[in-house]
Amino acid sequence: MKIVEINNQHELWEEVSEYAEACSWRAGKKLSQLMKNNCFSEYERVFVALEDGNIIGYCTLLKTDCIPDVVYAPYIGFVFVDESHRGKRISEKLCDFAFQYAKSVGFEKVYLVSGEVNLYEKYGFVKIDEKLSDWGAMQSIFER
């Protein structure tokens, strides 16, 4: 398995957008729209996990997430791993890769929003806040 950093100039951009659109997680459609509309700027990126040339997961590093009016940035988001590859800590590897990239562009901390309990803590994240998301659900904000 390898992880690749991509932006809208990368040859995998459209393929990853289509994969996100078709994935089982409803947030994949939102990521696909962001990619199709070229809503990424500056340091924002998509990170893709590949196995034998096939996409098996992805995550992003973005300036914002689903909670408005907070001072935290940047966010690791849209963490998704194909069901057939879960249990192999691929989401942890994606988060690690995104965190290392964030450090390389000058950030000492990253944030992540999730409703999951006891998942991201295993990857070195610490819950620092809890807020309502833009769809009205309470979400935790984690820092690493």
Domains annotated for the chain, with CATH where assigned, are 2-143 (3.40.630.30)
Structure tokens at 144: 């690493």
Contact indicator for 76, 109 with CB cutoff of 8 Å: no
pTM (predicted TM-score): 0.95
pLDDT, residue 132, reads: 87
Contact indicator for 55, 84 with CB cutoff of 8 Å: no
**Owner of token pair 């904000």:** 141
pLDDT, residue 127, reads: 96
Sequence letter at residue 69: D
Given strand 54-62, what is the order of strands in its sheet? Answer: 2-6, 45-51, 54-62, 75-81, 111-114, 138-143, 126-132
pLDDT, residue 118, reads: 87
Contact indicator for 141, 67 with CB cutoff of 8 Å: yes
pLDDT, residue 133, reads: 87
pLDDT in tens, the chain (144 residues): 999 999 999 999 999 999 999 999 999 999 999 999 999 999 999 999 999 999 999 999 999 999 988 999 999 999 999 999 999 999 999 999 999 999 999 999 999 999 888 889 999 999 999 998 888 889 999 999
Angle formed at CA 99 by CA 58 and CA 36, multiple of 5 degrees: 40
Structure tokens at 80: 């998704």
pLDDT, residue 69, reads: 86
- Rounded distance, CA 52 to CA 1, Å? 7
**Owner of token pair 């994240």:** 125
N-term to C-term CA, the chain:
24
In three-state secondary structure terms, 76 is strand
